[in-house]
Amino acid sequence: MHMADALLSPAVAATMYVASGAVAGVSIHKLKKDDEPRKLPVMAVTAALVFAGQMINYTIPGTGSSGHMCGGMLLSALLGPQAGFLSMIVILAIQCLFFADGGLLALGANVWNMAFYGCFVGYYLIWRPIVKSSLFGEGKPAMRARIALASVLGCIITLQLGAFSVVLETSLSGITELPFGTFVALMQPIHLAIGLVEGLITTAVLLFVYESRPELLMDVEAEADGSKRSLKAVVAVLAVVALLVGGGLSLLASSNPDGLEWALFGNAEEGYAENMGLDEEAYGVESAAADTAEAIQEKTAFLPDYAFADSDSAVGTSVSGIVGSAMVAGVAVLICLAGGFFRKKMTET
C-alpha cells in the first residue's frame, strides 16, 4: 500500500504532509506533556521489531499463501496511539529512504494512509471501546475474545480506510485513467482479505503478550486467572468466524462487477476516455463518494497534472520535442563518459 512519488501531484502530497505533520505535532506535544520521552527506547525497539517483523511470512492454513502482521494496530495496542503513530512515521521513513518503499514526497500520504488510521482510528474507535467494554462477560477468556475481536476488526477497518485513501489521493492527483468507482472496486476487496489475515496475525501476537505480560497492553488490566483456553483454539475459532464474515463481505463487495465491466469494455469500445470523468449515472457504486470527489476535483482542477492537454502545443509531443529528448539523452551519455574518464584519471594519479 506504499504509494510512490509518481502517484501523487505536489498539491495532494503537500496537503497530506500538512495533515500528517499536524497529527505528529499533536502526538509529540501529548507525549511531552505526559512526560513520555522516557518511552523513547521502547518506542524505537518496538518500531524496529515491527519493521523486521513485517518481513516474516506467516503461513495461512489451507491456502498455501502467507501474510504479515499489521503494524499500526500492534504499535498502538502496545505503546498507545501517539507513540504508535510516531513509531509508524519512523518505520515508513526508513522504508522510504533505505528500501525505496514509498516515495519521499509521498511520505505524508503514506503516513496518513497507514499510520493515522491504524493508530488513531484503530485505537480510539476500535481497540479501547472494545477492550474496555464488558463484551463476552468477565474474566480472562472474555478478555482474550475482546482482544481478538478488536485486533481483527481494527486491522480490517483501518486497512479499508487506508486503501480508500490511496484511491482518493491518486484520483485527486489525476494520475490514473482508471475511473474512481472501478479503482475502488478493485482496491477494497483485495484489502479486505489482506486486513483479515493481518488481523489474525496481530491477534496471535497480542494474545501471546496478554498471556505472558498483560500489563504491557494498553487499557488491559491484569485479571485474576480464569479458565485457560489454548491460544491455538482461540485463533482457530476466530479464523473460522472471520473467514465467514470476510467471505460474506467480499461477496457483497464483488456483487457489482457490471460497473467494472462497463468501465473496462464499454469504454474501450467507445474508443474515448470521456467517461473517465466521474459519471455517477453510469455506475451506481460509490456514487455519493464519487460526487464529493468530483466536487473536490473541480476545485483542484487548476493542478497541472489534472488538466487534459487539448492543444498539442501544451503536450510537447511535437517532433522537435522528440528530437530534443534524443539530444538530451546524448548529453546524458556524454556526462557518463566524461565522469568515467575523469574518475579513471583520478585513480591513475
Partner 1 sequence: MNKMEKALYELSEMDELAARSSPIHRLHPAAKLLSTIAYIVVTVSFDKYDLSGLVPMLLWPVLLFQLSGIPVRTCFYKLRIVLPLVMAVGLFNPLFDRRIVLQLGTLAVSGGVISMLTLMLKGLLCLMASFLLMATTPIDKLCAALRMWHVPKLLVTLLLLTYRYVGVMTGELAVMTEAYHLRAPGQKGIHISAWGSFLGQLLLRSMDRAQELYASMLLRGYHEHFHYAPVRPFALKDALYAALSISAFLLLRYVHVAALLGKVIVR
Q: Which of residues 221-250 bind partner 1 (CB under 8 A)?
A: 231-232, 235-236
State the minimum distance, in angstroms, from the CB of residue 112 to partner 1.
Answer: 16
Residue 26 or 251: the one with the smaller Cβ distance to partner 1 is 26
Q: Residue count at the site for partner 1 (CB under 8 A)?
A: 113
Give 57 or 227: the residue with its C-beta nearer to partner 1: 57
- Cβ closest to partner 1, residue 111 vs residue 161: 111
Instruction: Write the DSSP assignment of 279-333 as a string of letters.
Output: -TTT--TTHHHHHHHHHHHHHTTTSTTTS---SHHHHT-SHHHHHHHHHHHHHHH
Touching partner 1, residues 111-140 (CB under 8 A): none
Q: Which of residues 286-305 bind partner 1 (CB under 8 A)?
A: 304-305
Q: What is the 3-state secondary structure (H, E, C) of 10-31?
A: HHHHHHHHHHHHHHHHHHHHHH
Residues 6+ apart with CB under 8 A from 170: 3, 7, 8, 176, 183
Among 70, 73, 77, 96, binds partner 1 (CB under 8 A): 96
| Range 186-215, binding partner 1 (CB under 8 A) | 200-201, 203-209, 212-213
Contact at 8 Å (CB) between 97 and 104? yes
Position 177 contacts partner 1 (CB under 8 A): yes
266 interacts with partner 1 by CB under 8 A:
no
227, 272, 281, 298: which one binds partner 1 (CB under 8 A) = 272
- Which of 3, 159, 146, 149 has its CA nearest to residue 67? 159
- Supply 94's cell numbers: 526508513
Cα(178)–Cα(277) distance, rounded to whole angstroms? 9
Cβ burial 100-120 (10 Å sphere, 16+ → b, else e): eebbebbbbbbbbbbbbbbbb
Is residue 87 close enough to count as binding partner 1 by CB under 8 A?
A: yes
CA distance 103 to 240: 38
In the region spanning residues 7 to 26, those forming contacts with partner 1, defined by CB under 8 A, are 7-10, 13, 24-25
Output the smallest distance, CB 165 to partner 1, in A: 15
Using CB under 8 A as the binding rule, whether residue 348 contacts partner 1 is answered as no
Nearer to partner 1, 41 or 348 (CB): 41
Interface region with partner 1, contact rule CB under 8 A, candidates 122-130, 243-251, 285-293, 332-340: 332-340
Chain residues 36-75 in contact with partner 1, contact rule CB under 8 A: 37-38, 40-49, 51-53, 55-59, 61, 64, 66, 69
DSSP state of 55: T
- Does residue 172 interact with partner 1 by CB under 8 A? no
User: 57 near 68, Cβ under 8 Å?
Assistant: yes
What's the closest the beta carbon of residue 6 comes to partner 1, in angstroms?
4
In the complex, least distance from residue 153 CB atom to partner 1, rounded to whole angstroms: 18
| Closest among 203, 193, 106, 219 to 147, alpha carbons compared | 203
* Piece of the chain touching partner 1 by CB under 8 A; list 109-117, 156-164, 221-229, 334-342: 334-342
Nearest distance in Å: CB 281, partner 1: 18
Check if the beta carbon of residue 50 is closer than 8 Å to that of residue 59.
no
- At residue 112's C-alpha, the angle toward residues 55 and 108, to 5°, is 95
Helix axes 139-173 and 231-253, enclosed angle (nearest 10): 30
